[in-house]
Amino acid sequence: MELFQWGTNPWGQEVAIRLSWDLLYVFATLGVVFVIGHMIFRKIYPERPEGEPTSEELKGLPERVTRHSLASRLFHWVMAASMLVLLFSAFLPIVGVQFNWLTWHWIAGIVLIISVLYHIVHAVFFQDLWSVWITPSDVKEGMQDLKHMMGSGPAPEKPGKYPFANKAYHAAVLVTTLAVIVTGILMLYRIQTPLVTRNPYLLSDQSWGVTYVLHGLAGVVMVFLVIAHIYFAVLPEKRWQTWSMIRGWISKKDYATYHDRRRWALRD
């Protein structure tokens, strides 16, 4: 198995052309292995149900607690749709389904870029930016939660708005998405679009090679991340979170069960 595909430039230099697509199958397999591994893990260490909230804990809470505003949900689903189009248009031709993929791909990329810019502005100016940021204590609590699930330690404190798994996934998607966006914008200069004037001399051959490799690497990592994300979204014990991304709210019982009201204080 190769990690990169190599070519020869007009000066006879060996340059990396792109990531080897063997890695697509590696990361897709890793995604499936992760899902199966997690299923086995849950079989060995079943989910420990959280205690029912007391009436005291439920007191004063609204029936519906808003977890994701309409603006956040719109971003999530637009990003999800564009990401799926990007992945399918990128990888279907590689597995043998031939179609006019490039037009779909760059248009979906533009949609992704616009949605991410929107999200950045929304998160910085209209949301609690740090609620989804990972801190050292999150990592510590994540490890404690893992030990607890395996029966060798006390349960960690309830999280704020986002549990450690949510934050970790967000961070992974953030890095991967920014990588595909930055490299994707550069790659727009290699194809004919109405957006930018084509300029294949923008970077050196070696730099283009690195750009293509990073774009491909981010793409195959995203395959793994999407498989994991969809798996957790359909898991029965996580569906309250999935529903909140559709409806926008969680019940006061879910709020009191899964969240620490001190760490995620409700506003009016």
Partner 1 sequence: MAVIRDTMPAFELFQPTSVDEALGLLDRYGADAWPMAGGLDSFDWFKDRIRRPAAVVDLGGIEDLRGVRGMPDGGLEIGAMTTLTGVVTHADVISRYPLLAVGAEAAASPQIRNQGTLGGNLIQDTRCWYYRDGWTCYRAGGNICYADTPTAMNREHCIFGASRCVAVNPSDSAPALIALDAKMVIRNQDGERVVDAEDFWIGPSIDIRRMTVLEPGDLLVAVRLPAAWADARPYYEKIRDRGVWDFPLVNVASAMKVSGTTIEDIRIAVNAVAPYPVRLTAVENILRGAEISEETAERAGSLAVRGAQSLAHNAYKVPMMKNLVKRAIRGVEV
3-state secondary structure of 32: helix
Give every CB contact of residue 96 below 8 A, 6+ residues apart in sequence: none
Query: Does residue 9 bind partner 1 (CB under 8 A)?
Result: yes
Query: Does residue 238 bind partner 1 (CB under 8 A)?
Result: no
CB of 7 to partner 1, least distance (A): 3
3-state secondary structure of 105: helix
User: Which range, of 23-31, 97-105, 111-119, 133-141, touches partner 1 by CB under 8 A?
Assistant: 97-105
Q: Are 141 and 160 in contact (CB under 8 A)?
A: no
216-226: buried (b, 16+ CB within 10 Å) or exposed (e) per residue? bbbbbbbbbbb
Site residues for partner 1, 59-78, by CB under 8 A, read none
Q: Which is nearer to partner 1, 205 or 254 (CB)?
A: 205
Q: Figure out which of the listed residues 41, 77, 99, 126 binds partner 1, where binding follows CB under 8 A.
A: 99
State how far the Cα of 250 lies from the Cα of 258, in Å rounded to an integer: 10
Q: Figure out which of the listed residues 44, 63, 70, 100 binds partner 1, where binding follows CB under 8 A.
A: 100
Give every CB contact of residue 143 below 8 A, 6+ residues apart in sequence: none
State how far the Cα of 231 lies from the Cα of 207, in Å rounded to an integer: 36
Q: Which is nearer to partner 1, 208 or 224 (CB)?
A: 208
127-140: buried (b, 16+ CB within 10 Å) or exposed (e) per residue? eeeeebebeeebee
Taking 3-state DSSP, the helix, strand and coil percentages for the chain, each rounded to the nearest 5, stand at 65, 5, 30
Binding track, positions 10-39, relative to partner 1; x by CB under 8 A: x-x----xx---------------------
Q: Which is nearer to partner 1, 16 or 250 (CB)?
A: 16
User: Which range, of 9-17, 114-122, 217-225, 234-242, touches partner 1 by CB under 8 A?
Assistant: 9-17
Q: How many CB atoms lie within 10 A of CB 208?
A: 22
CB of 227 to partner 1, least distance (A): 27
Query: Does residue 185 bind partner 1 (CB under 8 A)?
Result: no
CB of 129 to partner 1, least distance (A): 37
Q: Which is nearer to partner 1, 102 or 146 (CB)?
A: 102
CB of 34 to partner 1, least distance (A): 30
Binding track, positions 188-217, relative to partner 1; x by CB under 8 A: --xxx-----x-xx---x--xx--x-----
Phi, psi at residue 98, to the nearest 5°?
-95, 130
CA atoms within 13 A of residue 168's CA, in its CB half-sphere: 14
By rule CB under 8 A, what count of residues binds partner 1?
A: 25
The footprint of partner 1 (CB under 8 A) covers: 5, 7-10, 12, 17-18, 93, 98-103, 190-192, 198, 200-201, 205, 208-209, 212
